[in-house]
Structure 1
């Protein structure tokens, strides 16, 4: 019941897990030599830790560590028991995840210990898809941890994990989790290759997006699949691949999920973040349109950006320029003169406008009103 309620009613799930934990503690205490009872206790501790992870990470860590101690003991008692070995690798990863930000060195050590176990299990049973999937997860964990300090090694780990996941997805095309894991690996590889091989990164992002779209369409009620799709769209947009299309689609999905209260507190912050990215794209497009002498297009782009985030005053400068070049002087002046004395992007508004005018003049794009605005700025100083 707790597993079923975990996402829809975590508070009630926690109550059920606590009740189950109390029972399993009692049974384990009554028969400390009963390995089944000990293993059950470790599972309950893990479930509790998972439920508390976001709200009380310190308590979650304590529960995970207690479970780890039990699992280390079980493995020592029965080193040939593969289920106990797998359980131990899960505990190592759980604690590594919890320590990831506060103690990355210790997290890496735990991930490496878990990887060693999973390599051994995967070699022992190459046809066991669960063991192969577990191995790919461990490779990703270490790749993530090494990403900044050793990108070459991280790439090698991601490549190994991707190869495993391609094979699993091909073996079981109907396995949704294997398909999702493959899309995650494609995205990670794309992120790692982005700086050195942007073209290949885009190929990987597109492949990952195709999978994410398919999964989101198959299970429209699965929030994880919907947010995976959002992440894939944003990755492509951020990489410069049709930003307007991809940011807009991501924002539409996000806004719908947010309106229905289906996003976590952290995910709800994605809405303003993606909105800002799309607004900034429109603002940049407006600036570029000025240099193409497409002043109507510049106005339209600037208004689109400001419609998403009216606080972006630097976009208002592009709108003012577009209006001026269309000889709508009164509208332009309302912006040019209305924002005098303010700071935009860390510099005085007047300086921003004067720098824009210089850049435009350097491309032989001029208007008589430029000098009048500059004179008005000097008079105010």
Structure 2
């Protein structure tokens, strides 16, 4: 059967501009930059199809065309594409391509053909960043780069990236041939409903990341003043931090986070007025704070988060209406509130959370349907709910949790398979179950916990070894066990506690020094102790209390132990003393009177 060829593609096979560009790409044995101007995505796709065929024919070998279309990862299609997404999808990819994308035969294509006028601001910002990173991109790519833009963005690129513009080897304009109908503009409501699945994030192995970090260090050593080499190293260190945090290996995460932070500080000191370096420094401070908090070093975490918040307030003062800077301030306030809450300073925690809540509501006044801002609002509501619950105000806690749950169900209606939104839903259900349990409504508590349990099991079907999901599961099992114990069903309670204990031992095997997980294990052992005694097995209860104290003693001997660890250890000692006395034979406990 003869191959069916799209009429537009067939026409472009004889287009002079497309053929000149194909000839240039075929001869490019190292980095060269080309510009392809197409007014519609349809013309752009057809032109790229022709280029792939023509270059392969000229080279007499297959050609790999790596097409980066950031609009495929932009879910809210009727909203402007944010600069942060463009930087993540385009800039980071060009500065640090995958190892298999560095072959001379690879052609990178950055496709902006789907950009609408509302997206021009984000693309203009990206063009400026591309201009700053020109040298680094030229070194990172072994083959040619093609930028595909509509005509109006060609002018924006020339203005925003003059250095990049100056190195172009060829600029080609491809118009739709006569007789080809222009593409209809999709109505906004249809664009809203037609969500595009985000492009899956590249899964890097530990060995790949280490190799890229090492290579980036070499490039920086060879050219210490090359900002693109420095940026590349910082990008890879950031990936290493996240990778090690996901694996639970906090010592390695800490080394990467502190190295990245040191490099960011040096760069910010060299360019004190450059807003992008201040922004990047705030991100590195957040990463460092996350690692410190996971290690139980809350004072250092608070110092890092406070500095990040200060930088973000400084940036926001330059442009008080800039959405991404407003959002960054809200994130920092949540981080600061989390640490104050963990330290037991509920007044300062609620002050931070309330301010974060007001900032996010201000964002949603600009766009009430923006998914990431709706999620931010749900997080702030959860945080406020936690403080109200800690203070004993269960009605206000439940109101905050209910509003958060409603938002999370709304988000999942947009994308029912998105892992972070599924985890958010599980967390909200768990929070609501906790309030119902505190109010004595055990049936409603168990209903919420059961739904939360099913959501986490759904997540673990995607990745059965994800540490944070395993911990979520252990927390829910503890809560389910508490409900069964309150109802007097000790066997079902022990079954749930056994599941939790097994999960926590599995997590601790990944990182035996992680404070949070040691405290979790002690909590599970304590639950077993209480239930064993209630079931008439005091000797078993004593063994569990002693095992819990062993874990807590290790924590309380660390520098600046949390008050919660000291309190839990004191409880264990009191219970051990009580049980030891009760288990002694009666005669051994009776004191003989002193001799006359």
Q: TM-score scaled by structure 2?
A: 0.47
* 1:310 corresponding residue in structure 2: none
The aligned counterpart of 1:5 is 292
Structure in which a larger fraction of residues adopt helix = 1
Distance 1:215 1:52, change over 3 A: same
Contact kept in structure 1, 2:555 and 2:565, CA below 8 Å:
no
2:356 is equivalent to residue 67 of structure 1 = yes
**Structure 2 CA distance for partners of 1:12 and 1:194, relative to 1, 3 Å:** closer
Q: Paired residue for 2:424, among 128, 134, 150?
A: 134
Alpha-carbon separation, structure 1, partners of 2:529 and 2:300: 39
After superposition, give the CA deviation of every residue in 1:274-311 in whole Å (9 maximum; x if it has no partner): 1221222233333xxxxxxxxxxx2xxxxxxxxxxxxx
Could you tell me which residue of structure 2 aligns to residue 278 of structure 1? 576
Shift of 1:168: 1.7
- Unaligned 5+ residue runs, structure 2? 1-284
Whether contact under 8 Å (1:97, 1:107) holds in the other structure is yes
**Aligned mates of 2:390, 2:344 — CA distance in 1:** 16
**Counterpart check, 1:171 vs 2:458:** no
Give unpaired runs (5+ residues) of structure 1.
Answer: 287-297, 299-316, 322-331, 339-375, 377-381
Superimposed CA distance per residue, residues 28-51 of structure 1 (whole angstroms, 9 cap, x where no aligned partner): 233233211111111122222223
Q: Which residue of 1 aligns with 2:556?
A: 258
**Number of the residue aligned with 2:310:** 22
**Could you tell me how far 1:4 is from its partner in structure 2?**
3.3
The one-character-per-residue Cα deviations of 1:178-209 (angstroms, maximum 9, x if unpaired) are 00110110010000011332111111111111
The reply on whether 1:333 has 2:595 as its aligned counterpart is: no
With normalisation by structure 1, the TM-score equals 0.72
CA RMSD, Structure 1 to Structure 2 (Å): 2.3
Verify the 8 A CA contact 1:320 1:333 in the aligned structure 2: no
1:1-381 equivalent positions in 2, closer than 5 A = 1=285, 2-6=289-293, 7=295, 9-53=297-341, 54=343, 56-102=345-391, 103-149=393-439, 150-196=441-487, 197-240=489-532, 242-261=540-559, 263-286=561-584, 298=585, 319-321=588-590, 332-334=591-593
Q: What CA distance in whole angstroms lies between the structure 2 residues aligned with 1:235 and 1:270?
A: 12
Say whether the 8 Å CA contact 2:292–2:298 is kept in structure 1: yes
Q: Are the counterparts in 1 of residues 545 and 572 from structure 2 also a CA contact under 8 Å?
A: yes
8 A contact 1:223–1:262 mirrored in 2: no
Which structure ranks higher in relative contact order (CA pairs < 8 Å, sequence separation ≥ 6)? 2
CA contact (8 A) 1:237 1:243 kept: yes
Measure, in 1, the Cα distance between the counterparts of 2:446 and 2:463: 25
Secondary structure of 2:354 counterpart: helix
The answer to whether the 8 A contact 1:89-1:114 is kept is yes
Output one character per residue of 1:140-176: Cα deviation in whole Å (capped at 9) or x when no partner.
Answer: 1111111132221111101111111122223211100
Give how far 1:137 is off.
Answer: 0.7
Q: How many residues align?
A: 298
For the 8 Å contact 2:581–2:589, the answer to whether it is kept is no
Q: Distance in 1 between matches of 2:573 and 2:419?
A: 40
Do 2:522 and 2:551's aligned partners in 1 also have CA atoms closer than 8 Å? yes
Which structure: larger Rg?
2
